Amino acid sequence: MPDEFDSFLKQALAPPPGEADRAFVARVQAHIRLEERLASERRVLIAKLWKELVAVAAIAGALVLLSRSPVVVEWAAAAPALAVSILLLAFCFVVAIFSAGSGARSLA
């Protein structure tokens, strides 16, 4: 049979009655929204990273193929300065394209 102490303990340890704490619920919802937004941004960034990796691999593959072509090798041997200049221009073009992409993302 419950005595005075049992009743006291049950009453004191029971969860508080009454309405839900709206401020707490709002805080949890805000956390969830933030987490959803971060997760979606993370997914977009990972997708972009993969695309950029594939693009870099494609460019590198194309350069390797070009460098193996006898016509290109012959021409580069005849005019090495021009070949290096063209390579540098191509490199700057690629860097500019990737920088523009990153800048647009950070602005968004």
Partner 1 sequence: MNGQNEEDLALSRRAASGDGGAFAMLVEKYEAPLRSFLARCAGPDRADDIAQEAFLKAWRAAGQYDGRARYSTWLTRIAWRCHLDQIRRTRPPAVEPEASCSLATDEVQDMVSRLSHSERAALVLCEGHGWTHAEAAELLAVPLGTLKSTVARAKAKCRDLWTGGDRA
**Which residues contact partner 1 by CB under 8 A?**
5, 8-16, 18, 20-21, 24-25, 27-29, 31-33, 35
- Judged by CB, which is closer to partner 1: 15, or 70? 15
- Judged by CB, which is closer to partner 1: 16, or 70? 16
Task: Round to whole Å and give the CA distance between 52 and 55.
Answer: 5
Task: Round to whole Å and give the CA distance between 54 and 49.
Answer: 9
Q: What is the DSSP letter of 19?
A: S
Q: How far is the CB of 36 from partner 1 (least distance, A)?
A: 8
CA 57 to chain centre: 19
- Judged by CB, which is closer to partner 1: 36, or 59? 36
